[in-house]
Structure 1
């Protein structure tokens, strides 16, 4: 009898699970990607083919940059936070998937009670004291006729994928920020070198002008102008050193270094700015599948899938809920008789609940789910729009940067010739020293501007790689969402 009853108990639970698995299709709309008018292709107009988008920074041929990016990824607290959010989303998914199985509990109790001898139900034959001991199993299961738990599982999986893609956004942004900060530092190094060279030239000019003044060849105005120019360059040199120190501490923070290393940053230098610019890797062929490559777009779409599944969960509340509860065990007043066949007890209970009146509560929950889905549609659409805007702006900036650089190089060549001629005119008495100073300033400003233009061009290339989802592998979602 014991085995037969236990077998019936198990069969009942299995049958309930089978009925649930064979239920009707889940309620709510099935997901369809919003129809958007997307460009058929993208044109890079670059010089490099077969770009490795996962490690795009390798194209700059700077081992120091490679090392800094690896250090930043290893120490980033933003990445650690994103990884923890993935773990939380995975736990939520596991929790939701437990709804597909019955819950089974072991119950044990021992009771001793004294009856009131003055109560109407008291019987002297039954005695004043009584013992009761129970041991058994209880199980409960809700049959998922309407797909409420199936939609919950769908939503939880989508949110897990969204968190994994969000980590990709953090990673690609980190790579871009570190690379651009490194380029800014190398640009300041170049500015510092230029300022030191310019100051040495101005100080030599001041020395010569001072000798000429002492010899009565020039007046005091020319001497003071040379002094002013040298002092101005020296001030520029001090400002550049200050900016470089700030850039070093900012990069140290991005690398996740300790506070003591941020106060006194020691950062290796690799390829100089000119060589980095010469090695710039502008892709010739751009991937057209931006929607699948950009982690923020993937994350936004998964959030939309989750919001869409939430509608089905909300609608399921309109329909009946069927729950099964079963129990099997032993009950006896004496412990010695607890496992006697006569002490067996069991029960099977089916409970059907159909909402009749909720004062609009279910309608409100469904309306809220629909509203959140519309918000997710808007956010997804906006994310796609921003993605293609990023690509457009990056392509424009890269193309413009090349043209501006070429024009600036021509201007610098012309200014060098202008300075040479102005110096000859001054030495031969055809012009004032002010003409030489103006030529020197124009050349110095153009050379400094070229450094800034090269840095901006490198930043634009990094922005292009980021806009196209570089540095992140969409296939890594599978690995990150797998159970550890």
Structure 2
């Protein structure tokens, strides 16, 4: 008996210690992999100046036509609407987890008839039953904390979807401007070549040119017309891409009247691009935050699995009116209270398996966080390389176009004086057209890189 009295305090202390551990809040022990930006380390140093990562999309995308498209997409897009429904579901789950601390109250009237020894007796019970679970080992508290983490995770996913939608509309819009700009160049080239073809035909009719030169000029003109048809198809595809994001049938997309160099990249706010992109900015990414929340939620699931090893205390009571199966007539007030303590002894290994699985799930969430961080750093690296590469080539393309314009004018003058052939003129025309199209494509690549960087750093303030 004395030994038992000595053991009881020890058991009580152990249970209290376990109780304290099971009520602990999550403390992050996640580590960020080093060298996330790869070879783009020159932009890692943090500065006091603002950065592109902190801009709202309205600050970055100043084009009013693009802003209207994004506003429409934010209202109509079904993928974003679904993520908002997920947030509402998570809010409902959290509300239920909070109310689990309250007692349950049920109203359960019942009645019947007993027939015995040629005697019929009415039987009835009218009562309220209350039940309350004492959260001694934190099972309910950890469930609530898990629900809180999952709610924040669903909100992060909503922001990630919104960021993808905003940048998706922007990329499709600038692709439309690119195609429009290239179409303008092709149509201008077509006009020049039509005039050239008229001139060549006049020279042929006057015996100053061969029919082959006329045919070659006409073939080149037909080639440009085919390119124009292809570009008109690409414009429709770009419009379709925008309409899909806006969840509407195909329609002509209104855009800025200024296309080409006058709008690609120059309409974006690039003033803060070079002010530094410290690693800490990756914390703005909603997918990074969601991965952190997943680890936190897994921790609380593990705490719940650990609590399953300990006893569960349930208090219940009934207050009502009964005739006690016909023994009391009229009926009397019934009042009872019950405390029930249940402790697992043998559950066929299920509790132990659930705890082992919860530990593995938490480790899996940690590995997913590391993977998310590496992918985030890689996206920043690729976006910077795309932008820097295109920006470095822009000046080269400008010089190349200027040189080829001079060459084209020069060959025209030489041919007019009989010092150059139509082949040289055609070659100069085709080289100029190709360079002008490449210049716009390169500017679009720079635009893509900047938008990709914006998204890779979290999509700014939405």
- What TM-score do the two structures reach when normalised by structure 2? 0.87
| Preserved contact between residue 62 and residue 269 of structure 2 (Cα < 8 Å) | no
Question: Following the alignment from structure 2 to structure 1, what is the Cα–Cα distance between the partners of residues 209 and 366?
Answer: 76
Residue in structure 1 matched with residue 426 of structure 2 by the alignment: 437
Residue in structure 2 matched with residue 337 of structure 1 by the alignment: 330
Provide Cα deviations, 1:111-153, integer angstroms capped at 9, x if missing partner. 22112x4xxxxxxxxx722222222221112222211111111
Residue in structure 2 matched with residue 243 of structure 1 by the alignment: 234
* CA-CA distance at 1:299 after TM superposition: 1.1
* CA-CA distance at 1:156 after TM superposition: 0.8
Residue in structure 2 matched with residue 427 of structure 1 by the alignment: 416
Question: Following the alignment from structure 1 to structure 2, what is the Cα–Cα distance between the partners of residues 158 and 92?
Answer: 11
Residue in structure 2 matched with residue 268 of structure 1 by the alignment: 254
Residue in structure 1 matched with residue 163 of structure 2 by the alignment: 172
Q: Does 1:146 align with 2:129?
A: no
Choose the corresponding residue for 1:281, options 259, 269, 277: 269
Q: Does 1:36 align with 2:24?
A: no
| Preserved contact between residue 295 and residue 472 of structure 1 (Cα < 8 Å) | no
Q: Does 1:456 align with 2:456?
A: no
| Preserved contact between residue 182 and residue 251 of structure 1 (Cα < 8 Å) | yes
Residue in structure 1 matched with residue 380 of structure 2 by the alignment: 391
Choose the corresponding residue for 1:359, options 339, 348, 354: 348
Q: Give runs of aligned pairs for residues 32-181 of structure 1, distance below 5 A.
A: 32-38=28-34, 43=43, 53-115=54-116, 117=117, 128-181=119-172
Q: Specify whether residues 154 and 145 from structure 1 end up closer, same or farther in structure 2 by C-alpha distance, changes over 3 A only.
A: same
Secondary structure at 1:350 match in 2? strand
Q: Indicate the RMSD between aligned Cα atoms, in angstroms.
A: 2.6
Worse overlay, 150-159 or 410-419? 410-419
* CA-CA distance at 1:296 after TM superposition: 0.9
| Preserved contact between residue 29 and residue 308 of structure 1 (Cα < 8 Å) | no
Question: Following the alignment from structure 1 to structure 2, what is the Cα–Cα distance between the partners of residues 467 and 109?
Answer: 63
| Preserved contact between residue 28 and residue 309 of structure 1 (Cα < 8 Å) | no
Worse overlay, 179-188 or 270-279? 270-279
- What TM-score do the two structures reach when normalised by structure 1? 0.83
| Preserved contact between residue 391 and residue 468 of structure 1 (Cα < 8 Å) | yes
| Preserved contact between residue 185 and residue 244 of structure 1 (Cα < 8 Å) | yes
Q: Specify whether residues 416 and 54 from structure 1 end up closer, same or farther in structure 2 by C-alpha distance, changes over 3 A only.
A: closer
Provide Cα deviations, 1:195-224, integer angstroms capped at 9, x if missing partner. 110001111111100000111111122111
Provide Cα deviations, 1:373-393, integer angstroms capped at 9, x if missing partner. 122111111111111111122
Question: Following the alignment from structure 1 to structure 2, what is the Cα–Cα distance between the partners of residues 54 and 60?
Answer: 10
Provide Cα deviations, 1:232-286, integer angstroms capped at 9, x if missing partner. 11111111111112211221221222x3xx2xx1321114232223233222324
Question: Following the alignment from structure 2 to structure 1, what is the Cα–Cα distance between the partners of residues 110 and 293?
Answer: 48
Secondary structure at 1:269 match in 2? coil
